[in-house]
Amino acid sequence: MIMSSSIYSMLYCARPHSIGSIRPWMMSHPFPFFNALQKKAPIHFLKRQQTWIVSSYEYCEEVLQRSDDFSTRVLLPSLGECLVTQQDEQHKSHRQWMNGFFSELHKDQRDGFAKKLAEQVVDKVKPGNTYRLKTDITQKYTDALSMKVLGIYEDKMEDLYAILGEIKGSDRKGIAEEKVEHYLNQITAISKPGGLLHSIVMDELISPKVKLNDTYLMIDAGFLTIRQSLANMTSGLSRNQAMQEYLYSSNCDYRHFINESFRLYSPFFSTIRRAKKINTLGNQIIQQGDQLLICLMSANRDQIVFKDPHRFDPKRRNVQKHLAYGDGIHRCIGQHISNSFMADFFEVLKTKQLKPVVQNYRKDFQADSNNLMISGVGDISVSFTPC
């Protein structure tokens, strides 16, 4: 349904050029707003942005699965072609190649390398001391994971961040060939042969521009997302009694712990699709070319699918049903390794009998109005107490 202009202006600020025009107060506590939308207008059109906001689980899932009708887009228009924007056969063969790599990684995971890396970070924690949640804790862990999984030389992490910063500011759609080559040479210099980044850069079948965007995607969509997810979930754990009771109990199943806390605190606000042709969705007609903002974070707290949706309940029968990794053919390729890396981190916290205490942070969950992809807590202060 198209919203009346009064409701529209109540809900949205008129900030042109930005899909992120949802009012700031909604972002600081987005869920009541989403729950209202799910009931009253699960698919509604924002005229100013020419964008459909899809907020219910049912329609988010449907759009993600109808890849013949709705194609992927990324929020960064400058990113250009990469695995996530490719369609049809091109996407299929590219994804198959990557899947091979990710299944190997998943097998490697059995040697417990991630748990050792988590232990190295957590061993340095002294109860009572104050740390910055991301810089000192979750980033330390994901940097170590990136070095191992992406195959980056131990002393080259700073170089990686410098390259990322440079690439971030560039427009890769219109980027000159020499510049692409320049970045790829820089990435080659920091990556180990046999690692994921090196393999992408060396692959003859992918064009240089796609190689560049893919490597960026692996780092940014991959490890920065795990870092943010762990920060959100640690902050959640510090405040959520039910999460604490379950994690520190003797019958905790880490898979259920991760699935349910990820449903509540995943950082993925939304993903974007564009209608390939005129389509029907629910009782709406979506015109060819219309853009759709698929609010995954909203779908994960839809009470039609998740009873009492704001409550942590690891025993729900549909605990795995969340959309935090998307759905359909573009569903996250890194979901299995991410889940086990995150489980390892919380298992180590529990083994060491440490409980996080996030200080002066009142909000249950803070979405970020400047970033409608990745949201959550900032680099807030945290300490750990014995439990």
Residues 387 and 375: their CA atoms lie apart, in Å, by 29
Q: How far is the CB of 323 from ligand HEM (least distance, A)?
A: 7
Beta strands, E only, 222-275:
271-275
Beta strands, E only, the chain:
43-46, 51-54, 70-73, 131-132, 271-275, 279-281, 284-286, 291-294, 354-358, 381-386
Q: How far is the CB of 49 from ligand HEM (least distance, A)?
A: 18
CA 10 to chain CA centroid, Å, is 29
Q: How far is the CB of 379 from ligand HEM (least distance, A)?
A: 18
Measured between alpha carbons, how far is residue 302 from residues 5, 279, 294, 316 in Å?
Answer: 25, 24, 13, 14
Report which secondary-structure segment, H or E, holds 141. Answer: helix 139-146
**Which of 333, 334, 304, 338 has the alpha carbon at shortest distance from 321?**
304
| DSSP annotation of 306 | S
**Residue whose CB is less far from ligand HEM, 271 or 298:** 271
- Residues 292, 52 contacting (CB under 8 angstroms): yes
Report which secondary-structure segment, H or E, holds 364. Answer: none
**Residue whose CB is less far from ligand HEM, 136 or 220:** 220
**Residue whose CB is less far from ligand HEM, 268 or 346:** 268
**Residue whose CB is less far from ligand HEM, 11 or 301:** 301
Q: How far is the CB of 272 from ligand HEM (least distance, A)?
A: 7
- In the complex, the residues that contact ligand HEM under the rule CB under 6 A are 72, 83-84, 95, 217-218, 221-222, 225-226, 229, 266, 268, 271, 324-326, 330, 332-334, 337-338
**Residue whose CB is less far from ligand HEM, 343 or 349:** 343
Closest residue to ligand HEM, Cβ-based?
334
**Residue whose CB is less far from ligand HEM, 75 or 202:** 75
Q: How far is the CB of 73 from ligand HEM (least distance, A)?
A: 8
Q: How far is the CB of 371 from ligand HEM (least distance, A)?
A: 13
